[in-house]
A = this chain, B = another copy of it.
Amino acid sequence: MRLIILIATLVMAAPALADPLPSWRDGEAKSRIVDFVQQVTQPGSADFVIAGDRIAVFDNDGTLWAEQPIYAQLAFAIDRLKAMADEDPSVLTSDVLRAAAEGDLAAVAASGEEGLLEIVNTTHAGRPVAAFQDEVRAWFDTAKHPETGMAYDAMLYQPMLELLRYLRDEGFATYIVSGGGLHFLRSFADEAYNIPAENVVGTTGNASYEVVDGVPMIEKQAGIAFVDDKAGKPVAIDTRIGKRPIFAAGNSDGDFQMLEWTTSGGGARLGLIVHHTDAEREWAYDRDSPVGRLDRGLDEAEARGWILVDMAKDWARVWPQAQ
């Protein structure tokens, strides 16, 4: 009897549930997220989804953290190329590598995918995965964003961190599905987002397993095994997760097929696009941006029922730390 009273007291004394998304201003975006989560998690709901099938996928660049003026991974690659060239200038074997080492971003951009691949091969390949990830972590400790002066891994979006945590608290598994490099992503995803290595999906370079002087190692090799962008995203979701997500968040047309695949399944589904409308606190860009171009998604979001998050309007706060 006393035990029952004790339990009853505990239950009655429980405070009202705190707002899980305090950095989201009240409005349609926030209320649709909360409604969706309730729909799929309340037992007895027509759209109830068992915990093992509550898969939520997130793009990274421009969705979970900033991507302007260039992807953080490209900034890392350029910094690393400069350091390599300082030690041995003969690594700069082509015009695009010389341009990158001089910080000529226009020339890098003009070199297209082929040029980018050359920069990535030169700066990423040829060493063990573990050593590569240590280098990336060391870079995050010192590199500063050229415009904000912040550390790159401090430029996370606080509202999206809250969304990740909220979904996990409600039994979702959260995954990154990014066009960025798999090993680059893993070097910070666990610390930044509480997303462990096995839940990171990204563009994957070739790799080898070899025993060198009796020590087995997995080494990054030149060349790309899989590009996790556009139609590659649903394919990678199938290969890596094997379940169709019920929630997807992105910010560019590179995420279009991932949102399309996610939201065309049966039952309750939710797609969300972060629209960069906030030139004051972050950047404002969409159709004309070479980085994170959002064109088709902007045209079709409403008809497809995807939430178009207006960063300036919907987010009370952008960064985790006050600037």
Q: Which residues of A contact B (CB under 8 A)?
A: 2-3, 6, 52, 129, 173, 182, 186, 196-198, 200, 204, 207-211, 215-216, 218, 225-226, 231-232, 234-235, 238-243, 257, 260-261, 264
* A–B pairs, 22, beta carbons within 8 Å: A2-B3, A3-B3, A182-B239, A182-B242, A186-B242, A196-B242, A196-B243, A197-B242, A198-B198, A198-B241, A198-B242, A204-B239, A207-B239, A209-B231, A209-B232, A209-B235, A209-B261, A211-B260, A216-B260, A218-B238, A218-B261, A225-B226
- Residues of B within 8 Å of A234, CB to CB, are 209, 216, 218
Closest chain B residue to A218, Cβ basis: B238
Rounded to whole angstroms, the CA-CA distance of A239 and B232 in the bound complex is 16
A186 / chain B contacts, CB cutoff of 8 Å: 242
Once the chains bind, are B207 and A235 in contact (CB under 8 Å)?
A: yes
Q: Which residues from chain B contact A6 at a C-beta distance below 8 Å?
A: 3
Which B-chain residue is minimally distant from A202 (CB atoms)? Answer: B239
Cα distance, A186 to B204, chains bound together (Å): 22
> In the bound complex, what is the Cα–Cα distance between A241 and B240 (angstroms)?
9
* Chain B residues in 8 Å Cβ range of A216: 234, 257, 260-261, 264
A240 touches B242 (CB 8 A): no
Q: How far is the CB of A306 from chain B (nearest CB, A)?
A: 14
Identical copies of this chain, number: 2
Are B242 and A200 closer than 8 Å at their CB atoms?
yes
How far, in whole Å, are A243 and B198 apart by their CA atoms in the complex?
8
CA distance A207 to B237 in the complex (A): 11
Minimal Cβ-Cβ distance residue in B for A196: B52
A200–B2 CA distance with the chains assembled, in angstroms: 48
Question: Chain B's nearest CB lies how many Å from the CB of A190?
Answer: 9
Give chain B nearest CB distance to A60 CB in angstroms. 15
Are A215 and B261 closer than 8 Å at their CB atoms? no
Q: Which residue of B lies closest to A197 (CB)?
A: B242
Measured CB to CB, the closest approach of chain B to A65, in angstroms, equals: 19
Could you tell me the distance between the alpha carbons of A170 and B216 in the complex, rounded to whole angstroms? Answer: 28
A208 & B235 in contact (Cβ 8 Å cutoff): yes
With contact pairs A216-B264, A264-B215 given, residues A197 and B2 touching in the complex (Cβ less than 8 Å)? no
User: How far, in whole Å, are A211 and B230 apart by their CA atoms in the complex?
Assistant: 13
A241 and B197 contact, Cβ closer than 8 Å, known pairs A216-B261, A235-B218: yes
- Which B residues touch A197, using CB under 8 A? 241-243
User: Bound state CA distance, A202 and B200, in angstroms?
Assistant: 18
Bound CA span A257–B211, Å: 9
How distant is the Cα of A242 from the Cα of B190 in the complex, in angstroms? 12
A133-B77 Cα distance, complex, nearest whole Å: 41
Q: Top 10 nearest A-B pairs by Cβ distance? A: A197-B242, A209-B231, A209-B234, A198-B241, A218-B238, A216-B264, A207-B235, A216-B261, A209-B235, A186-B242
Chain B residues, CB < 8 A from A243: 196-198
